[in-house]
């Protein structure tokens, strides 16, 4: 398997971190835009999409700032990859941005970015941004 490389995408968001964060960190919020359903037990999250399921471990979180998971499959393979949702607010303009940090194989980065664009478009629609 080829090495995965980290990439980031930034999306302007017309929502406060307090309003946005539950959509990024709770099963009910995530199931509104990220996947069909989410179950969580402690730091273990199961994500469901049209008949498939993936499990991820919550590895870091700071309320209203960021949340980071590692897919269990990646962890079992000894990979240090993760995906993260980070909220940044510009101190001067008070504009919020959602930053997605993810990993993909070099030749799959553009496809991964397109998928994130689609997912975040759904999120922005859900929150009315």
Q: Which pLDDT tens digit goes with each residue over 53-107?
A: 999 999 999 999 999 999 999 999 998 999 999 999 999 988 999 999 999 999 9
In tens, the pLDDT along 44-61 reads 999 999 989 999 999 999
Contact, 55 vs 71, CB < 8 A? Answer: yes
Q: Which of 127, 50, 53 is nearest to 87 (CA)?
A: 127
Instruction: Give the range of the structural domain holding residue 115, as residue numbers without chain letter.
Output: 4-127
Rounded CA-CA distance 97/107 in Å is 26
Residues 6+ apart with CB under 8 A from 2: 105, 106, 107
> Residue 84's domain is classified under what CATH number?
3.30.530.20
Contact, 39 vs 45, CB < 8 A? Answer: yes
Residues 6+ apart with CB under 8 A from 79: 4, 103
Q: What pTM did the predictor assign?
A: 0.92
57: which 2 tokens? 């471990």
Number of structural domains (the chain) is 1
Contact, 75 vs 89, CB < 8 A? Answer: no
């Amino acid at each position: 398997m080829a090495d995965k490389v980290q990439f980031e995408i930034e999306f302007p968001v017309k929502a406060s971190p307090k309003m946005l964060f539950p959509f990024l960190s709770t099963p009910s919020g995530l199931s509104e835009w990220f996947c069909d359903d989410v179950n969580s037990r402690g730091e273990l999250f199961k994500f469901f999409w049209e008949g498939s399921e993936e499990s991820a471990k919550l590895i870091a979180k700071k309320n209203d700032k960021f949340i980071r998971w590692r897919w269990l499959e990646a962890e079992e393979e000894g990979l240090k990859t993760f995906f993260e949702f980070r909220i940044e607010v510009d101190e001067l303009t008070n504009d919020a941005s959602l930053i997605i940090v993810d990993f993909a194989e070099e030749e799959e980065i553009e496809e991964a970015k397109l998928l994130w664009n689609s997912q975040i478009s759904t999120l922005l629609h859900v929150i009315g941004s």
